[in-house]
A and B are shown apart, each in its own frame.
Chain A
Amino acid sequence: GQQLNQSPQSMFIQEGEDVSMNCTSSSIFNTWLWYKQDPGEGPVLLIALYKAGELTSNGRLTAQFGITRKDSFLNISASIPSDVGIYFCAGQFQETSGSRLTFGEGTQLTVNP
C-alpha cells in the first residue's frame, strides 16, 4: 500500500525560531493535508492542498504541495509555546473505489520558552 515518510520525528526549538517538516510518498497523491494534534485530543486540520505546486498559508503556517505530487512540506514561522504538539501530514489519492487517506507518523514539536 501507499506509505508516507514524515520527518523529522521530533524537533526541539527555541521560541521565535522557524520550523520546517516534510512528508514524502512512494506514490502520487492529489490531496495533501496537514493536521496538528494536542495531547489527549483529536487532530485539527491546519491546511489542505489540492494542486501540485500550490503554496498555501494560514497565519504563521505555510504548506506546499510538491511539484512531483509525491511530497509536501509545512513551515511554521516565529514559533510560540502553543505550537507544541504533534504535526501529521496526510495524503489522499482518488481511486475508482473511493479515496483513502494515508497518514504520516507525525513530527513531535517542542518549543522552549
Chain B
Amino acid sequence: DGGITQSPKYLFRKEGQNVTLSCEQNLNHDAMYWYRQDPGQGLRLIYYSQIVNDFQKGDIAEGYSVSREKKESFPLTVTSAQKNPTAFYLCASSMAFNQPQHFGDGTRLSIL
C-alpha cells in the first residue's frame, strides 16, 4: 500500500546523544516535511524539502538537521543541541509544495 512510514514508533535518547528519525514515502511525492507536536499544541514546522537535494529551515530548526538524498526519504536528526527534544515528531509529504500534506503515524521521542 502507498503511504508514509515513520520509524521507530518510540525512541529514547540519552543526554548528549544524537538520534535519527526515519521517514520514507512511496507516494512519489516531491515535497516532504517534519513537524514537532507538543501536548495541547498545534504542529510546528522544523524543516521542509520541496525537492530532492534541497531543504529549508522551518520555524523551529535549531537543534535539528535533515538530509534529502533520495526522493522517498527525509530523515531527521535530533542533535544534542536540542535541549528539549521530548515530543511527538510527525513527517508529512505532498505531491508538490502547495498541495495538501499527508502524514505518517509519528515517532514519540523521550529522554532517558
Q: Judge whether B43 and A103 touch: CB under 8 Å.
A: yes
- In the bound complex, do residue B42 and residue A92 qualify as a contact, i.e. CB atoms below 8 Å apart? no
Supposing A94-B98, A99-B97 touch, asked if A105 and B40 sit within 8 A by C-beta, the answer is: yes
Residue A43 at the chain B interface, CB threshold 8 Å: yes
Known contacts A88-B42, A104-B42, A106-B42: A40-B98 contact under CB 8 Å: no
B92 CB, min distance to chain A CBs, angstroms:
8
Highest count of chain A CB atoms <10 Å: which of B45, B97, B100, B101: B100
Q: Is A44 an interface residue (CB 8 A)?
A: yes
Tell me, yes or no, whether B102 is within 8 Å of chain A by CB. Answer: yes
User: In the assembled complex, which residues on chain B have CB atoms less than 8 Å from the CB atom of A35?
Assistant: 103
Partner of A42, one of B98, B100, B103: B103
Which residues, 72 to 113 on A, are CB-close (under 8 Å) to B? 88, 92, 94, 98-101, 103-106
Least Cβ distance of B22 to chain A in Å? 14
* Cα distance A45–B43 in the bound complex, in angstroms: 14
Chain A residue with Cβ nearest B50? A98
Residues of A contacting B4 with CB < 8 Å?
Answer: 42
B11 to chain A, nearest CB (A): 14
Q: Are A33 and B100 in contact (CB under 8 A)?
A: yes
Cβ of A21 under 8 Å from chain B: no
Q: Is B90 an interface residue (CB 8 A)?
A: yes
CB pair B97–A105 under 8 Å, yes or no, is no
Give chain B residues whose Cβ lies under 8 Å from the Cβ of A40.
105-106, 108
CB neighbours of B50 from chain A (8 A): 98
Flag if B90 contacts A43 (CB, 8 Å).
yes
> Chain B residues in contact with chain A, CB under 8 A?
4, 6, 33, 40-43, 45, 50, 59, 90, 92, 97-98, 100-106, 108
